[in-house]
């Protein structure tokens, strides 16, 4: 699957993105559009299934979606990208100690890294460089009350235990690009710690029609 890039024709749908923000995505996502809308809709719906369903038959769909996302990301880049870039997942909305903690993107990037090592003999750099200080309600559960970058920045902090070696190229990875608030908050935190690093964004999908702010 070829990645699509946010450009002047699509940037206005994501109000917090700036002209110097570089973001790529796999396809368009229709929020609450139903499983029949597109393959991206179905993939995201399975990927975001609640961990409370673990142990049920349908949870296999989530596991399969995690593997699909990992494979998609592995296929999306040339080998040199895996040599040069550090992949940083946006932290989930709940801490590890919470029953609702969902590390789906960490698992997907881990699967990507395993494929890169097996197929390309390259050790991809995947690091949870950003952690959150406290939990919050996930954006896809409260689409009418999405947080702004200034709301998220105080919740984030650098994971200093794995902060070195300093990355030169960082790709922030998240499920869906909507307003761009999580990406901008992550970029702000990472730029403060790594002022010389290039920072871009990678998403499974983007929602073309973001809410007005």
Q: Tell me if 174 is assigned to some domain.
A: yes
Give the span between the Cα atoms of 182 and 202, in whole angstroms. 12
Give the span between the Cα atoms of 8 and 16, in whole angstroms. 14
Widest distance between CA atoms in the chain? 47
Instruction: Check residue 127 and give its pLDDT.
Output: 99
Q: Which residues pair with 73 in a beta bridge?
A: none
Instruction: Check residue 55 and give its pLDDT.
Output: 87
> What CATH number is associated with residue 194?
3.40.50
pLDDT band at 213 (very low <50, low <70, confident <90, very high): very low
Q: Tell me if 212 is assigned to some domain.
A: no
Q: Tell me if 213 is assigned to some domain.
A: no
* Residue range of the domain that includes 113: 4-206
In this predicted model, which residue has the larger pLDDT, 207 or 135? 207
Q: Tell me if 185 is assigned to some domain.
A: yes
pLDDT band at 36 (very low <50, low <70, confident <90, very high): low
Q: Tell me if 188 is assigned to some domain.
A: yes
pLDDT band at 198 (very low <50, low <70, confident <90, very high): very high
Average pLDDT over residues 151-173: 97
- How many domains, in total, are found in the chain? 1
For residue 32, pLDDT beyond 70: no
Tell me what percent of the residues of the chain surpass a pLDDT of 70: 89
Instruction: Check residue 30 and give its pLDDT.
Output: 85
pLDDT band at 171 (very low <50, low <70, confident <90, very high): very high
Give the Cβ contact number of residue 194 at 10 Å: 18
Q: Tell me if 75 is assigned to some domain.
A: yes
For residue 34, pLDDT beyond 60: no
In this predicted model, which residue has the larger pLDDT, 52 or 213? 52
pLDDT band at 137 (very low <50, low <70, confident <90, very high): low
pLDDT band at 47 (very low <50, low <70, confident <90, very high): very high
Q: Tell me if 56 is assigned to some domain.
A: yes
User: Hey, is 188 helix, strand or coil?
Assistant: helix
Q: Tell me if 194 is assigned to some domain.
A: yes
pTM of whole model > 0.75?
yes
Q: Which residue has the tokens 């494979």?
A: 71
Tell me what percent of the residues of the chain surpass a pLDDT of 90: 76
């Amino acid at each position: 699957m070829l990645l699509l890039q946010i450009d002047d024709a699509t940037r206005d749908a994501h109000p917090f993105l700036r002209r110097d923000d570089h973001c790529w995505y796999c396809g368009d996502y229709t929020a609450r559009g139903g499983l029949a809308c597109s393959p991206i809709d179905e993939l995201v719906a399975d990927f975001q299934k609640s961990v409370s369903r673990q142990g049920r038959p349908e949870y296999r769909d989530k596991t399969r979606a995690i593997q699909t996302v990992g494979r998609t990301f592995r296929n999306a880049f040339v080998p040199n990208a895996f040599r040069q870039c550090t992949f940083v997942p946006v932290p989930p909305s709940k801490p590890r100690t919470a029953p609702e903690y969902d590390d789906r993107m960490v698992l997907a990037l881990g699967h990507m890294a395993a494929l890169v090592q097996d197929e390309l003999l390259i050790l991809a750099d995947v690091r949870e460089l950003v952690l959150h200080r406290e939990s919050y309600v996930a954006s896809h559960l409260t689409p009418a009350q999405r947080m702004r970058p200034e709301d998220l920045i105080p919740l984030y902090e650098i994971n200093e235990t794995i902060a070195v070696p300093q990355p030169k190229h960082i790709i922030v990875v998240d499920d869906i690009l909507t307003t761009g608030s999580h990406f901008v908050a992550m970029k702000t935190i990472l730029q403060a710690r790594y002022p010389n690093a290039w920072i871009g964004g990678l998403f499974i999908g983007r929602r073309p029609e973001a809410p007005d702010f």
